[in-house]
């Protein structure tokens, strides 16, 4: 009898700390209940055959995968990226035939792609069983991050993959993206976070890569952003263009907001935590320029609703969702 295998991974919403991970800064995401699940059986031929509930076109991926970027349909690149990274590491992945189902809204900044990568990697580990040594959460996250780099060419940070792997229900995951240390922070019972979809992301990939490159240019001049304080910009800012000063100001102030937000939540200072979320939004919008007029308007509308304490855009930006904090 052929045994059916299942692997899943949840989406994530970032409460605060955006565009800080790729300079080794702080982020504070939490896992969502929405998940992606892959179910199927091992097969003897050298292919992965997958059918998705969201796409009439099936994916047929030939093994071994060396270049996932041209694979069609495009969602299958994330799967192929993971298969390629296992291949790079000398691991022979068996054939598989199955289905992909997801309740994570796609292209909304809730990490549907990272969830597909993590579900695939978990499935591969299951398929190869005890032929492989145990793999730590950070190693698995790095494997999936590399899969995304080679599948899409987007130089994403580690937040999405690591928070999905290490996240716990109803708990925020405070990650230091330099040493990858994690603090699990219980969310106070008086408040709740929700997610509101505003619009699909636009131009996200090229603008994301441009922000990563800008941070690299800044660091060549002023040193690591994760260690910098705003005073450093006063001292050394004249060596940067006006635009790079704004980019640096976002990253430096956002790292501080993550620290302050975690502390405010733990102390029950919810109004303070809410204003930090709003400050984070405007910093992303004005200094980092990863918001859109529609996202900014949606934030203003949301803040006038009864019970809302704070809100901000979440994730890579250029559209996607707001994360909203309110009293229960």
**In the bound complex, what is the minimum distance in angstroms from residue 44's beta carbon to ligand GLA?**
36
Cis previous bond, 317, omega within 30: no
Residue closer to ligand GLA by CB (options 53, 179) is: 179
* Shorter beta-carbon distance to ligand GLA: residue 193 or 270: 193
Angle at 25 between CA 23 and CA 26, to 5 degrees: 150
Query: Residue with structure tokens 């995401």?
Result: 29
Beta strands 47-52 and 95-102 are parallel
Concatenate the DSSP letters of all residues of 30-89 into one string: EEEEEEEEEEEEEESSSEEEEEETTEEEEEEEESSPS--TT-SSTTHHHHHHHHHHHHHT
- Residues 165 and 143: their CA atoms lie apart, in Å, by 12
Minimum distance, C-beta of residue 6 to ligand GLA, in the bound complex (Å): 25
Work out how close the CB of 192 gets to ligand GLA at its nearest, in angstroms, rounded to a whole number. 22
Q: Which two tokens stand for residue 123?
A: 């499935």
Is 80 or 254 the residue whose CB approaches ligand GLA more closely?
Answer: 254
- From the list 160, 260, 279, 287, the catalytic residue is 160
DSSP string, 183-204: EEEEPPTTEEEEEEEEE---SH
Number of H helices, E strands in the chain: 9, 10
- CB 206 → ligand GLA: shortest distance, Å? 14
Nearest to ligand GLA of 258, 273 (CB atom): 258
Tokens found for residue 295 = 């996202």
Secondary structure element (H or E) that encloses residue 14, with its range? strand 4-16
Q: Is 53 a catalytic residue?
A: no
Q: Which is nearer to ligand GLA, 52 or 314 (CB)?
A: 314
Using DSSP bridges, classify how beta strands 181-186 and 4-16 pair: parallel, antiparallel or unpaired: unpaired
Q: How far is the CB of 45 from ligand GLA (least distance, A)?
A: 33
Query: Can you give the binding site for ligand GLA, defined by CB under 6 A?
Result: 14, 18-19, 21-22, 156-157, 159-160, 315-316
Give the active site residues. 160
């Amino acid at each position: 009898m052929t045994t059916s295998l299942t692997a899943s991974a949840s989406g994530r919403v970032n409460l605060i700390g955006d565009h800080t991970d790729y300079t080794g800064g702080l982020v504070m995401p939490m896992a969502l209940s929405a998940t992606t699940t892959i179910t199927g059986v091992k097969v003897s031929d050298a292919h992965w055959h997958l059918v998705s509930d969201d796409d009439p076109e099936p994916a047929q991926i030939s093994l071994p995968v060396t270049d996932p970027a041209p694979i069609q349909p495009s969602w299958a690149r994330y799967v192929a990226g993971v298969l390629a990274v296992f291949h790079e590491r000398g691991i022979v992945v068996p054939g598989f035939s199955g289905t992909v189902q997801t309740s994570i809204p796609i292209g909304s900044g809730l990490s549907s792609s990272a969830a597909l990568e993590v579900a695939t990697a978990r499935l591969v580990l299951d398929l190869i069983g005890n032929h492989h040594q145990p793999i730590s959460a950070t190693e698995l996250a790095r494997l999936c991050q590399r899969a995304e780099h080679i599948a899409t060419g987007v130089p994403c940070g580690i937040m999405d993959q690591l928070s999905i792997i290490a996240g716990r229900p109803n708990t925020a995951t405070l990650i230091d993206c330099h040493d990858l240390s994690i603090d699990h922070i219980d969310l106070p019972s008086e408040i709740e976070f929700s997610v509101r979809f505003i619009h699909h992301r636009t131009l996200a990939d090229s603008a994301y890569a441009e922000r990563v490159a800008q941070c690299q240019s800044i660091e060549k001049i002023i040193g690591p952003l994760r260690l910098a304080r705003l005073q450093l910009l006063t001292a050394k800012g004249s060596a940067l263009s006006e635009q790079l000063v704004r980019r640096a100001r976002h990253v430096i102030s956002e790292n501080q907001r993550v620290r302050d937000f975690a502390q405010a939540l733990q102390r029950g200072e919810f109004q303070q935590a809410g204003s930090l979320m709003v400050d984070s939004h405007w910093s992303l919008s004005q200094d980092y320029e990863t918001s859109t007029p529609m996202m900014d308007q949606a934030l203003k509308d949301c803040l006038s609703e009864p019970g809302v304490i704070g809100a901000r855009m979440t994730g890579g930006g250029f559209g996607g969702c707001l994360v909203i904090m309110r009293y229960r």
